[in-house]
Amino acid sequence: MKANRKRLLPLAILFLLALVVWLPLWTLLTGALTPTSEIKERLSGVLGASEGLAQWRFLPDRITFRHVVELLLDTPEFFRVFWNSCIQVFPAVAGQVLVGAPAAWAFSQLRFRGRKTLFRLYIVLMILPFQVTMASSYIVLSDLSLIDTPWAIILPSMFSAFPVFIMTKFFAGIPREMMEAARMDGANEWAIFLRIGLPLGLPGILSAALLGFVEGWNAVEQPVTFLKTASLLPLSAFLPATTVENAGVTFVCAVIALLPAVLIFLFGQQYLEQGIVASGIKE
């Protein structure tokens, strides 16, 4: 009984903290089902329609699916934006794996001069925020005539240092004895990478891919900087256009934008956790 009581307090504290984390998501979900008139009444203070603070209730007075229908059936532009996100994120993730896996394998398994220096350079590049590399990236992309094309998002992301870093950590965990045994059996370095490295490092590759997807799916700065045409912008960049009039649709839009990230997170939760542990970085 005493032990139960002891556990109750931390549980209550954790529940309250979880509630704070869940509250924005709950606001999003209820906002998607709230009529525009009610949204106007509650949010006009923060969305510029009037002065004051937002007033939000746990549940809306009336539930409506109008915004869902309006977005999914009456706004074909939404799907263009959604597929823009897919077009920019999936090739970038595929590129990260294709480019990053051999690089990570080299860093973890091969011994060559300057390896450590090069890897440190990778780490430096990884920790540089986008704002620092923005100007140089813009100049390079502009010289390559890639500004205002999806490639301006895909290419820099393909050569990102972060997935290389994560995959290096995973590949480094593969016992060297296995590689030596393979070499003794006559396997060359390429065969070792394909037959041993990739299957054993799969959790790392998936982890890097998942983190890359989440990063790309939520990216705002890169699209806003490198894309000029509104019709090329991805889903993550729609929030600045939110007004009282379209807040309901925007909430639905946000919920749908959330779904792939949530599903993919659930799908690769195990690998993602491993990746976060390996990188020591909390996204």
Partner 1 sequence: MEDTNRSACAAAKPFKKRIGRAILWFFAGMIVLTFVSRAASDALKAKVSVGYVSTSSLDQSLNGTGTWTAGETLLFTTYYTRRITKVYVQPGQAIEEGAPLFAYDVSTVSGGKSVTDRKVRAAQKALDLANANLENAADPAYAQAVVESAERALLFARFTYAQTYALQNGGVVCATFSGTLLSCDLSAGKASSAGESGLEISLGAPQFLICVSAKEAERISIGDAVCLYCDGRQEDETAEVVSVSTPDTDANVEVLCRDESGKTRVIGSEQDWKIRKQSEQYGTCVPIEALRQSGADAYYVLVLTEKQTILGEQFAAEKVGVTLIAHDDSHAAVEGGLDGDAKLITTCSKEVQDGDLVVKNDGD
Residues within the interface to partner 1 (CB under 8 A): 72-83, 230-231, 233, 237-241, 246, 253, 259-260, 263-264, 266-267, 270
Nearer to partner 1, 97 or 164 (CB): 97
Name which of 181 and 277 has its Cβ closer to partner 1: 277
In three-state form (DSSP H/G/I as H, E/B as E, the rest C), the secondary structure along the chain is CHHHHHHHHHHHHHHHHHHHHHHHHHHHHHHHCCCHHHHHHHHCCCCCCCCCCCCCCCCCCCCCCHHHHHHHHHCHHHHHHHHHHHHHHHHHHHHHHHHHHHHHHHHHHCCCCCHHHHHHHHHHHHHCCHHHHHHHHHHHHHHCCCCCCCHHHHHHHHCCHHHHHHHHHHHHCCCHHHHHHHHHCCCCHHHHHHHHHHHHCHHHHHHHHHHHHHHHHCCCHHHHHHCCCHHHCCHHHCHHHCCCCCHHHHHHHHHHHHHHHHHHHHHCHHHHHHHHHHHCCCC
Q: Which is nearer to partner 1, 105 or 216 (CB)?
A: 216
User: C-beta of 119: minimal distance to partner 1 in Å?
Assistant: 31
Residue 68 vs 172, nearer CB to partner 1:
68
Between 32 and 106, whose beta carbon lies closer to partner 1? Answer: 32
CB of 248 to partner 1, least distance (A): 13
Least CB distance from residue 211 to partner 1, whole Å? Answer: 17
Least distance from C-beta 175 to partner 1, angstroms?
18
Taking the complex as a whole, how short is the minimal distance between the CB of residue 10 and partner 1, in angstroms?
A: 24
